[in-house]
Amino acid sequence: MKVSIQGIKGSYHHQVALQLLGNDIEINECLSFDNLAESLKSNQVDLAVMAIENSIAGSIIPNYALIDNYSLTIVDEYYIEIKHQLMALPGSKLNDIKEVASHPMALLQCKKFFKLHPNIKLIEESDTAAVAKRISDDKIKSLGAIASYECSKIYKLDIVSKNIHSISNNSTRFVLLEKTSSNKSKLSYNKASIKFVLNHKTGNLAAILNIISENKLNLTKIQSLPMVHTPWKYSFFVDITFENQKFFEKTSKIIKNVSESFKILGTYNNKLRNDTSK
């Protein structure tokens, strides 16, 4: 099985792919989420792992649009605790680190740590694990990377400072995507991701939310996204959980009838938080 991830081996995407699908998979490394979606749509891979939201930073809004525009289907989800480690070449100490390069989000999530070390220059890069690999391959002294514990093992780097993230309860939700929907109607599931578009009639969104509530569905996420070709009009992306699939099926039919457009982005099982970092 071939699976696309954003980033390279050692990234959090890679970690989630292994947790969800096991070690016997072939990884396709993508430099961007656009490349990831395209690789799945064009049948280069069987599945793809995509980060969709973070407990601190919120939704990764463009990824909702990619799932929708490429007609991808969510078939599973996974939550992972983000625990950032500062790493460098073997034998390095914190005082040896002059620069740290990492993804802007990782740098932001470690802001308090670097405020205590103003002598360290921070450099934005596109991928956390890619910096770790470059340090390892090129034997770059005095440069540090921010990545996971697993990443340090893959690229044989020393952790010079553990758990440097500012907020301990920092988790990211990932979704597992496939190109076309499997026949989920015969399978058991208790969570769904849907998308709908409403007109500007007063009370329309409130009516949808009432429908969800009245049919015993729990709304866990709602995200609006502007429609590019229709100014001041929005798509709504919603996650809902339920105890009975029939409640969801009934609700879907009602929402479809009162919406300008309606799409089920995926049905799957609601996952508990999984801490796979150290």
What b/e sequence results for 228-264 when a residue is b if at least 16 CB atoms lie within 10 Å of its CB, and e otherwise?
Answer: eeeeeeebbbbbbbbeebebbeebbebbeeebeebbb
Sequence ranges of the chain with CATH classification 3.30.70.260: 184-268
Fold (topology level) of 85-161: D-Maltodextrin-Binding Protein; domain 2 (3.40.190)
Residue in the block written with tokens 């991808």: 72
Is the pLDDT assigned to residue 186 strictly greater than 80?
no
Query: What pLDDT does 185 receive?
Result: 52
Homologous superfamily in CATH for domain 2-81+170-178: Periplasmic binding protein-like II (3.40.190.10)
Per-residue confidence band for 275, with pLDDT thresholds at 50, 70 and 90: very low
* pLDDT tens per residue across span 9-33: 999 999 999 999 999 999 999 989 9
Contacts with 17 (C-beta within 8 Å, 6 or more apart), sequence order = 3, 5, 25, 27, 49
For CA atoms 22, 26, 32, 33, give the dihedral sign: negative
Picking from 4-8, 181-185, 192-196, 219-223, which range would have the lowest pLDDT averaged per residue? Answer: 181-185
Per-residue confidence band for 230, with pLDDT thresholds at 50, 70 and 90: confident
CATH of domain 184-268: 3.30.70.260
Is the pLDDT assigned to residue 61 strictly greater than 80?
yes
Q: Residue 227's CB: how many other CB atoms inside 10 A?
A: 13
Give the tokens for residue 158: 């020393």
Query: What pLDDT does 233 receive?
Result: 84
Strand 171-178 versus strand 73-81 pairing type: antiparallel
Query: What pLDDT does 159 receive?
Result: 98
Query: What pLDDT does 74 receive?
Result: 96
Sequence ranges of the chain with CATH classification 3.40.190.10: 2-81+170-178, 85-161
Is the pLDDT assigned to residue 278 strictly greater than 70?
no
Query: What pLDDT does 58 receive?
Result: 84
More confident position, 130 or 271: 130
Per-residue confidence band for 272, with pLDDT thresholds at 50, 70 and 90: low
Picking from 147-151, 226-230, 253-257, which range would have the lowest pLDDT averaged per residue? Answer: 226-230
| Alpha-carbon Rg for the chain in angstroms | 21
CB-CB contact of 273 with 174 (8 Å): no
Percent of the chain with pLDDT over 90: 80
The Cα–Cα gap between 222 and 168 comes to: 25
* pLDDT tens per residue across span 32-53: 999 999 999 999 999 999 999 9
Query: What pLDDT does 276 receive?
Result: 43
Mean pLDDT of 163-171: 90
Mean pLDDT of 258-265: 94
- Provide the mean pLDDT of the chain: 92
